[in-house]
Structure formats: C-alpha cells, structure tokens
C-alpha cells in the first residue's frame, strides 16, 4: 500500500512537471511568434546536449529552415527562451543600431567566488562600458605597431622550432605548434613574461593555458545551463574555471605587478595599462581582482582563437597547394618590395594574406554564435513582436557565413570571397568572426597581427601537405566551445 502511494505521488509530480514544462514552452507560441518546436527540458539544444551536433550546426539548421520567412525564430536554450536571428537587417539593429537594448551578453561570471571570471567579455552594463572605455586605448593601431617588434622577435625563435619539426620528418600537430607561438605572444604582451613556451612545450604557462579549453571545469551543456540560470548558479557558488587555473594566473599576475611596481618597470603592453588603472586614486581605479580578470581574458580570448584560426588556415593551405604557393609568392614579393625586412608596413601590405585569413575565419569562425541579452523590452522593427527583457538573442555567425545567398559556393575555400570587388556592397554583418558593434572583439587588431606574423614566418620557407592522419572530410567537434576539428589536423612539413 505504502509503495502504491509513493508511486502515485511520483507519477503526479512527473505529470504536473510535464504540464508546467509544456506551459513554459509556450512562451513564443503565446506571442504568436515563429518558433521551432522544443524538446522537454533540452529545449532546442537536444542535439548539442547529446553531442550529436555543435551549436553552430544546430543553429544553422534552424536558420536555413526559417530564413526569408521571419526576422527571428523563437527557441529555448534548455528552459531559457532565446531569439535566433535569421534576418541580417535585424542582426545589424541588434549589434549596432539598437545596441542600447543589447549591451550585455548574459554570460555567467561570479565575481565573489571566481574573480577571474569577472572579465570584460562577461561584465555587464555600466561596469562593462566604463572598463571598455578604459581599455580601448591599449588596442589602437599605434599600440599594435609598438608591440610588433616583440612579436617578430618571438617569431624568429618560432622559426627555429619549425626547423626542428621539419627535420624530424614526422606528422605535425599544427594546432599544437601554433598554440606554442600564440601562448608566448600573449604571455609576453599581456603578462609581460618571457614564458618560453616556444622553446619548451612543457612550460607551466603553456600547459595551464591549453588546459583552460582542453580540460574545462564543466562540460559544454553544464556551461550552457550556468548561462541560462546564472543567478542561481552564482548563489550556489558555481565557478567557471578550475582552481588550478585561477591559482596559477593569480600567482603570475601578482608577481608581475609587484615586480613592475617595486622596480618601476614600464613597457608598452597590456599589463602596463592595467597597472596604471590599478594605481589610480580616483573613480577610475580598478581593484587587483579586476586587473587579474582582464589580464586573464586577454590571454584566454587571445591565444586559443588565434591558434584555432591558424590551424584551419594551414589545413586549407595544405589542401589547396595552388593557394599555398600563391600566398608564399605574395609574401616574398611584398617583402622584397619593402627591402626584405618584415616591417609593420610590409605586413599590412599583404592584402592576399588577409583574404586568406578572412576566408578561414568565414568557414571556421572560432566563435560560432554571438550572444546578446535584451536589457529592456525591444519592439522588433517592422513587426508586432516584442523581445522581452531578459531574452537571449543568438546571432548564428556560422550559419550566416555559410549562407549560399551571401557567399556563392560557401563550402569552397576561396580567398576571392574577400576580394575588394566581392566585398563591395556586402553588409558588414555577413562576416562576424570578431562580432560587430560596440561589443566587437577588443583584440581583433592584435589577433590579426599575430596570425599574420605566424603565417608569414611559417609559410616563407616551408611547404605543407596533409598527412593521412588528418580525418577526411574534416569534421567539426560537437563538444567544444571553440570550433575544433575532430582528431586534430596533422601535416607534413618540408623545408624549402
């Protein structure tokens, strides 16, 4: 009898919960907005949560289904209602024109229990705006030019590493090699260190840096849950990063700050500006934890995105030898025109190289979807729909950049997609690897600079071909926040 009562009680709870969920999932239906039918609990992220598809791919399917029929589609990220934008005019409004409704990303951070998570990417509202204004001067073209010689110095040592690898005649994990360069560049420029990761792949900086992505604290679905229910996640003390990561970077930043302040050391790098802000005595002062979080975000936002871009770029160059040869000839020709030395001006003159990088970022944007969150009710222009305060807005960069109506033959790696002529008349929001609007990637110039230098260094004297170890056709991982290939990309390198 007792068992029967328990069973009946449990069934009633399940029944009531299902009713409640069904009602909850009528958010878009009640608004009469176009929507994609959700699954219970997962919403429209079933394939992502079950690792059957990556976020970019699953959003692409919905984008293709609704494109041309509506400006947005109502979906659910687990229980959280989200609007997936399928109209480029609305994308432009959200990212640029009506930014005052969409200044936040709605990303999880926990200033109290996990200070390194409270960085520029995650911060919200006036706090974000104030910090963005303070940090922007560090990323001007002038500052990039000042940091350029440091990057070229690192590239010289990087070349010796490629030499070694080429001589070994073994399959080369190109991502690993490129990450050794980008970790060192950001380590030196953001932390003021000579972290030596190029020469020593066992350095702690390199190991802990890679582990931020390869060994995250939580799986991707859990990260999504923490985004969807961040107030609750904060209350129960959830953290974004593993303790080893925060302990390590706290130690590194503390020792750099004390060394520089004690010895009055000044350099043209990101750390200098952060220390300036930390030492101020007015309202613009930032705390040590704020300084720490920004140095950390420059590092994690800077090295993985850039090494991912380089990895896919080398894949395409190896798969398209004619483009590889054209790129190498272009580099040599521009360098010759500039007297043989790799100067900032010579680098900026390599237009075809930029076409190749842009085409890589189009096909493989390291960040597949952009996020925003409505700060107040937003009337969608030209419709009767309102995006309610707190609704997540998803911009499917991956889908837009593979849309055949925007890029003819979108799956083909074709740098001519970015020829001057083909770019003419194309809306800027059709190419979103760095985002767009006031919340665009603050480090885009720096990221492009390090990708260019790595490409120039690695292409000039070496030739790359695909190793049979590389999976063909290339498959994108279904379980990664940053776009990555299943099985990695393995190349054979030959010294020319």
Binding-site annotation, residues: 441
Near ligand HEM by CB under 6 A: residue from 439, 452, 464, 466? 439
Give the CB-nearest residue to ligand HEM. 435
**Binding pattern for the stretch 113-152 against ligand HEM, x by CB under 6 A and - elsewhere:** -------xx----------x--------------------
Binding of ligand HEM at residue 369 (CB under 6 A)? Answer: no
Q: Which stretch binds ligand HEM (CB under 6 A): 249-257, 345-353, 363-371, 398-406?
A: 363-371
Binding of ligand HEM at residue 433 (CB under 6 A)? Answer: yes
Burial class for 358, CB neighbours closer than 10 Å (0-12, 13-18, 19+) = middle
Ramachandran assignment for 471, one of left (phi > 0), alpha (psi -120 to 50 degrees), beta (any other)? beta
Task: Report d(CA 173, CA 232) in Å as an integer.
Answer: 41
Contact, 391 vs 75, CB < 8 A?
no
Q: Considering the complex, state which of residue 403 and residue 492 has its C-beta at the smaller distance from ligand HEM.
A: 403
Q: How many CA atoms lie within 13 A of 296 on its CB side?
A: 29
Binding of ligand HEM at residue 203 (CB under 6 A)? Answer: no
Smallest separation (angstroms) from ligand HEM to the CB of 366: 5
Sheet containing strand 80-85, edge to edge, reads 72-77, 80-85, 392-395, 370-373
Q: What share of residues in the chain are helix, strand, coil (percent, to 5)?
A: 55, 10, 35
Residues 289-308 that bind ligand HEM (CB under 6 A): 297-298, 301-302, 305-306
Smallest separation (angstroms) from ligand HEM to the CB of 460: 21
Q: Considering the complex, state which of residue 334 and residue 361 has its C-beta at the smaller distance from ligand HEM.
A: 361
Q: Which stretch binds ligand HEM (CB under 6 A): 282-290, 317-325, 344-352, 438-446?
A: 438-446
Smallest separation (angstroms) from ligand HEM to the CB of 298: 4
Binding of ligand HEM at residue 435 (CB under 6 A)? Answer: yes
* Phi, psi angle pair for 104, to nearest 5°: -110, 155
Contact, 368 vs 347, CB < 8 A?
no
Q: Which stretch binds ligand HEM (CB under 6 A): 225-233, 234-242, 433-441, 454-462?
A: 433-441
Q: Which has the closest alpha carbon to 415: 486, 488, 361? A: 361
Task: Report d(CA 75, CA 352) in Å as an integer.
Answer: 40
Q: Give the CA radius of gyration of the chain.
A: 24
Near ligand HEM by CB under 6 A: residue from 57, 106, 415, 443? 443
Q: Considering the complex, state which of residue 33 and residue 116 has its C-beta at the smaller distance from ligand HEM.
A: 116
SS3 10: helix
> Which residues sit at the interface with ligand HEM, rule CB under 6 A?
120-121, 132, 297-298, 301-302, 305-306, 309, 366-367, 370, 433-436, 439-443, 446-447, 451
């Amino acid at each position: 009898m007792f068992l029967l009562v328990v069973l009946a009680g449990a069934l009633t709870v399940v029944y009531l919960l299902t009713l409640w969920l069904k009602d909850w999932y009528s958010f878009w239906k009640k608004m009469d907005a176009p929507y994609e039918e959700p699954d219970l609990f997962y919403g429209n992220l079933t394939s992502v949560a079950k690792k059957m598809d990556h976020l970019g791919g699953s959003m692409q399917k919905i984008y293709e289904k609704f494109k041309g029929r509506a400006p947005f589609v109502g979906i659910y990220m687990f229980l959280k209602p989200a609007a997936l934008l399928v109209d480029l005019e609305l994308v432009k409004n959200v990212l640029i024109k009506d930014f005052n409704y969409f200044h936040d990303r709605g990303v999880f951070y926990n200033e109290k229990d996990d200070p390194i998570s409270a960085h520029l990417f995650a911060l919200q509202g006036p706090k974000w705006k104030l910090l963005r204004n303070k940090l922007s001067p560090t990323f001007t073209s002038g500052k990039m030019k000042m940091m350029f010689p440091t990057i070229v110095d690192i590239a010289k040592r990087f070349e010796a590493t490629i030499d070694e690898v080429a001589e070994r005649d073994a399959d080369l994990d190109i991502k690993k090699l490129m990450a050794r360069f980008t970790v060192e560049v950001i380590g030196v420029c953001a932390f003021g260190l000579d972290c030596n990761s190029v020469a020593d792949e066992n350095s702690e900086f390199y190991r802990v840096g890679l582990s931020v992505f390869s060994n995250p604290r939580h799986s991707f679905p859990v990260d999504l849950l923490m985004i969807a229910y961040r107030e609750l996640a904060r209350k129960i003390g959830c953290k974004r990063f593993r303790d080893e990561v925060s302990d390590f970077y706290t130690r590194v930043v503390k020792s750099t700050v004390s060394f520089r302040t004690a010895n009055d050391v000044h350099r043209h790098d990101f750390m200098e500006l952060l220390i300036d802000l930390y030492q101020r005595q007015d309202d613009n002062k930032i705390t040590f934890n704020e300084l720490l979080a920004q140095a950390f975000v420059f590092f994690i936002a800077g090295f993985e995105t850039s090494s991912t871009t380089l990895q896919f770029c080398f894949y395409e160059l190896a798969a398209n030898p004619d483009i590889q040869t054209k790129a190498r000839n272009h580099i040599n020709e521009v360098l010759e025109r500039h007297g043989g030395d790799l100067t900032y001006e010579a680098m900026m003159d390599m237009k075809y190289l930029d076409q190749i990088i842009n085409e890589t970022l189009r096909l493989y944007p390291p960040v597949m979807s952009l996020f925003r969150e409505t700060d107040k009710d937003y009337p969608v222009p030209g419709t009767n729909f309102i995006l309610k305060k707190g609704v997540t807005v998803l911009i499917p960069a991956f889908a837009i950049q593979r849309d055949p109506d925007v890029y003819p033959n979108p799956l083909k790696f074709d740098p001519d997609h970015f020829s001057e002529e083909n770019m003419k008349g194309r809306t800027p929001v059709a190419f979103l690897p760095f985002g767009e609007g006031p919340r665009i990637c603050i480090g885009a110039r720096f990221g492009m600079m390090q990708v260019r230098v790595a490409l120039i260094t690695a292409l000039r004297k070496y030739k790359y071909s695909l190793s049979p170890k590389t999976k063909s056709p290339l498959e994108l991982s279904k379980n990664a926040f940053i776009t990555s290939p299943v099985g990695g990309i393995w190349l054979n390198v030959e010294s020319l």
